Structure 1
Amino acid sequence: MPHALAYSAKSPTAPLTSFSIERRSPGQLDVAIEILFCGVCHSDLHTARNEWENTIYPSVPGHEIVGRVTAVGDLVSKFKVGDIVGVGCMVDSCQHCKPCADGLEQYCENGFTGTYNGPEQGTGANTYGGYSSHIVVRESFILRVSHAENDLAAVAPLLCAGITTYSPLRQWKVGPGQKVGIVGLGGLGHMGVKIAAALGAHVVLFTTSANKRADALRLGAKEVVVSKNAEEMAAHAGSFDFILNTVAAPHNLDAFLVLLKLDGTMTLVGAPASPHPSPGVFNLIMKRRRLAGSLIGGIRETQEMLDFCAQHGIVSDIESIRMDEIETAYERMLKSDVKYRFVVDMATLKN
């Protein structure tokens, strides 16, 4: 079995350090990929530090992967050596339940296989993610990347942040003539603004930081509301068709539910470590409002998202880092000190 260089967490309190892992040799339906860039998601930090209390150590995070195909199995038909491809949050699923048959592998009734922190289908073995030199993945979970080569680092976060925001915007049919709110301007929120604007919606960004106003307008928002300002919030009461809430910290959901119009929906995609305060029932029932949730997207929808972003010139706003800067990046993420996503240049792993 081929060895891969990697960076791993050995315990919740240990810093990530260099590590050697074994990847399987490519099977008939497998694609081997040299990893060029890997985005840094807040889920990586949650997992490395066992904040969701499900981490298997050693843990190699990373599920925003862009790389180059180095080998393909005998039965692989969609990819060839040299292709630029992506791998997102999943590397497998059961392939036989109804959600899988419908292209909704993320809702696999038997549990999809995460790109890291497994378990692997069949064997139950722990999976290792994109903080590594290469990876081997089933062909049906590989995405084609058509962006220009000089954009590849900024494409990597689309494999999680991009699809996490694109999927609910598509599910609730966001488009021209709609007023859409995006709550939070972080790794997810900035992608939500870009994609919602490209879909033709009138986008309003909600932030607790007035100093993010100029950036939000640059990214495609038409208006910016400081959510701590009661007057600014009240001016938008009952006016939104859809709100995408990307904040990954517990907060008052009622403050945003009252902004929805009749039959409006707020969808949560942020995953806080502890629950939100429970919203009031009357804010829902009086206007038939909906509070929903969304995970990522299936493979078919993720490919659609990549193609849409390439067509509209959409990538993530990133800061490139070396692999040995990952702990510093984690600490800066906790302070929201990044605009808006860290991406590891995996060539630095070899050093």
Structure 2
Amino acid sequence: MSVPSKFTGFTLSSPENWDKPKVQQYEAKPEKSHDVTIKIQVCSVCGTDHHIGSGGWGPYGRDDLVVGHEIVGTVVKVGAEVKEFAVGDVVGVGAQSNSCGECDLCLNDNEQYCEKSVLTYNQADMFSDGYVTQGGFANYTRVTEKHVFRVPDGMSAEVAAPFFCGGITVFSPLVRNLTPYSKQKVGIIGIGGLGHFALQFANKFGWEVVAFSRSSKKQQEAAELGAHHFVATGEDSDWVSKHSNSFDLIINCATSFSAIDLNQFIDVVKPGCKLIGVGLPDFHENITVNALKLGMSGKFMGGSIIGNKKEVKQMLDFAVKNDIKPWTEVFSINEDNYKKALTKISKSDAHYRVVLTDFDEFFNKLA
């Protein structure tokens, strides 16, 4: 298959027009020897798409920005030094498209934290002539081999796509901080696009799972997803004393940190254990904790983003083995459904991920 020199996508001109894309062509990223070119089948929607599209994480790097980084498609071309993939392979791409591959982080399975890491969109790629990257709401994408992942046999594109950001974002801190199939207690704050993955993973790893939400509205769904216990923090005034110093790990999957009293969650983590944030808010948002309380607690707070390549493979294999799937709303891609999908994400109104499909049908009509 011949690959065009220009790709076509849903481009954004400014943060004010984050929900008004223009479908147009743009120059493809220069092809390097380790690059894999992918014809996109589906791309699901992540909160980051709205954060960056609306300017919440800073200015655009180009005036024809394409967002989207939960991508599944078919390999149509590989660079001369690509060893892992061949034309015809079904693969996925997440939130990272490049890294240096040489630093201590990259060489020790922490490539997502590489200081020269390149996001899948809206970042100048120093390894590709400074090209400002473009995302997955398009007909093609081109990504270095290190950040491409094979989709397991039997897993559909619609099911696979949300794993490449939403899934791995919670899987990585879970497996890095807890021992699978041990008698440990994990708390998941927020039952949404990230939290609904975390509840399923934690349950299948055999841990005691507690879901936290402000109200009891999602209690039944939390149980269906794998929670053994449910805490409605806005309805139970004694929840902190009931769970004091009892959690081996708490993952904060909520979109906003400032809407949560983190001091309360510090109280319920065991000394030596962690409260980890994975739901990323807009750039301007800060968190506040009592310094004395934290300093005297023997507990730790931190953050985590996506995961390494080994963890992505482990996650996908684990999901297939344990029949873990995202809860999704699926729409055929077009201008109206693009706006609908991104608006749902912006309002935290998705149940729980949104997947845009039928890319071939849409982009073939434009050819």
TM range (shorter): over 0.9
Q: Say which of 352, 357, 367 aligns to 1:340.
A: 352
Q: Aligned residue for 1:322? A: 332
* Aligned ranges 1:129-278 → 2 under 5 Å: 129-149=135-155, 151-175=156-180, 176-229=182-235, 230-249=237-256, 250-251=258-259, 252-273=261-282, 274-278=284-288
Q: Contact 1:26 / 1:73 at 8 angstroms: preserved in 2?
A: yes
Structure 1 spans left out of the alignment, 5+ residues:
none
> By how many angstroms is 1:219 displaced?
0.6
- Alignment partner for residue 279 of structure 1, among 280, 286, 289? 289
Q: Is the 8 A contact 1:178 1:202 kept in 2?
A: yes
The aligned counterpart of 1:288 is 298
Q: Is the 8 A contact 1:29 1:138 kept in 2?
A: yes
SS class of match (1:187)? coil
Map of 1:51 onto structure 2? 56
Mark the runs of 5 or more structure 2 residues left unpaired by the alignment. Answer: none
Distance 1:41 1:145 in 2: 19
Q: What is the distance in 2 between the residues matched to 1:298 and 1:189?
A: 20
1: distance between equivalents of 2:71 and 2:351?
Answer: 19
TM-score scaled by structure 2? 0.90
Q: Aligned with 1:258: secondary structure?
A: helix
Answer yes or no: is the 8 Å Cα contact 1:105–1:298 preserved in 2. Answer: yes
Separation in 2 of the partners of 1:294 and 1:28? 30
CA contact (8 A) 1:106 1:112 kept: yes
- SS of residue paired to 1:211: coil
Q: Aligned in 2, Cα 1:237/1:276: closer, same or farther, shift over 3 Å?
A: farther
Contact 2:178 2:249 in 1 (8 A): no
Q: Which amino acid aligns with 2:196?
A: H
Give the Cα–Cα distance (whole angstroms) in 2 for the partners of residues 90 and 349 of structure 1. 26
Percent identity, please: 33
Rounded to whole Å, the distance in 1 between the matches of 2:74 and 2:105 is 29
Q: Secondary structure at the match of 2:271?
A: strand
| In 2: Cα distance, 1:234 partner to 1:19 partner | 57
Deviations 1:296-337 (A, max 9, x none): 212232222222222222221111123321222222223322
Contact kept? 1:33, 1:136, Cα under 8 Å? yes
SS at 1:13 equivalent: helix
For residues 22-171 of structure 1, the aligned pairs below 5 Å read 22-24=27-29, 26-56=31-61, 57-109=63-115, 111-122=116-127, 123-149=129-155, 151-171=156-176
Q: Tell me how far apart the structure 2 counterparts of residues 278 and 154 of structure 1 sit (CA, whole Å).
A: 37
Which of 4, 8, 12 is equivalent to 2:11? 8
Rounded Cα–Cα distance in structure 2 between residues aligned with 1:347 and 1:211: 39
* Contact 1:94–1:121 (Cα < 8 Å) also in 2: no
The alignment's TM-score, normalised by the length of structure 1, stands at: 0.94
- Which shows bigger deviation, 273-282 or 180-189? 273-282
More displaced, 299-308 or 126-135?
299-308
Contact 1:166 1:195 (C-alpha < 8 Å) held by counterparts: yes
Aligned length: 349
Runs of 4+ in 1 over 6 A off after TM superposition: none
8 Å contact from structure 1 (residues 188, 246) kept in 2:
yes
1:348 is displaced (CA, Å) by 5.1
* Shift in alpha-carbon separation, 1:168–1:3, aligned structure 2, 3 A: same
Moved more, 66-75 or 214-223: 66-75
Q: Which amino acid aligns with 1:2?
A: S
CA distance in 2, matches of 1:319, 1:212: 17
